[in-house]
Amino acid sequence: MKSYTDLIKLIIGGKMIKNITLALAVLSLASCGANMSNSENNGEPDGSHASAEWQIWAYTTSAPSFIGDFASVIGADGSILREGTNGWRCETFMPMPEGGFNEPHDAAPACSDKNSVAWAKAYKAGTVPEMEGDGWMWMIHGDLGVDNFTVGTDGEKDAGHMHYIESGPHMMLMPKDPSSLDGQSTDYTTGAPYVMFKGSPYAHLMIPLVDYYSYQPESSPK
C-alpha cells in the first residue's frame, strides 16, 4: 500500500505542497467519503430558499461539517450572514434568482480558505490573483460548469463550448504559482485530478470526489 506521501505526490506530480495537513484531508475524504455528498444534504431548513437560514445551510454544506460549521458565511447580496472562527469563508458564486435558488447545486456554493478567497476575487475581477500561498476550496454541491480551457465561461452550458464540464462534488487546489501545474493532465474524463484553465493566471487543480459526474455522466470514465 502506498504511503500518504506517495499518494500526495501522485496527485500533484511529485511537487510537495506547503499545506500538508489539508492535502492529507483531501486524500482521506476522497478515498473513504463515498456517502459524503449525500450526508451533507441532511438538515435542510424549511421556508424560503432566499432566507439567511437556508443560505447558511446551503453554503456551509459545500464543505465537510468540521469546516463548514465554523466558517464565515456571505449572503448572495454580499452581506455577512454569520461570522466564523476558523478562517474559512462559504458563499455562492452565482447571482440569486428571485425567490432563491432551487437547490444548493444551482448556487454553486464554495467554502474557501483565505488564499482561495483572494483567488476568487481576482477571477471575478479579471485580475491576476495575489496570494500568500496555495489555496484550497471545497465544492461538495458541485457547480454549473465551465469550459475547461476557457476562462469566464461559467454557467454557459448551452453556448456550444467544446470542453464544457458541469461538476459534481469536488475540491480545488489554487496554487500560488500556476506554472507548478504545467506537467499535469487537463483530461477531465478520467476521474483523476486534472488542471482547469491551464496556461492562465487562474490555472488550478480539480480534484473529483464521489458523484463528480452525476450532472454530466457522458463525461465519466469509460
Domain boundary assignment for the chain: 4-219
The answer to which of 18-27, 83-92, 198-207 has the lowest mean pLDDT is: 18-27
- The confidence score (pLDDT) of residue 26 equals 53
pLDDT per position as a tens digit, 130-181: 999 999 999 999 999 999 999 999 999 989 999 999 999 999 999 999 999 9
Q: What is the mean pLDDT of residues 113-136?
A: 97
Confidence of residue 35 (pLDDT cuts 50, 70, 90): very low
Q: The C-alpha cell of 63 is what?
A: 464543505
Confidence of residue 4 (pLDDT cuts 50, 70, 90): very low
- The confidence score (pLDDT) of residue 23 equals 53
What predicted TM-score, i.e. pTM, was given to this entire model?
0.83
Confidence of residue 27 (pLDDT cuts 50, 70, 90): low
- The confidence score (pLDDT) of residue 32 equals 42
Task: Look over the chain and give the mean of its residue pLDDT values, rounded to a whole number.
Answer: 87
Rounded (5°) CA angle 199-176-112: 105
What DSSP letter does each residue of 3-56 carry, written as one string? -HHHHHHHHHTTPPPS-HHHHHHHHHHHHH-TTHHHHTTTTPPSS-BTSHHHHH
Confidence of residue 29 (pLDDT cuts 50, 70, 90): low
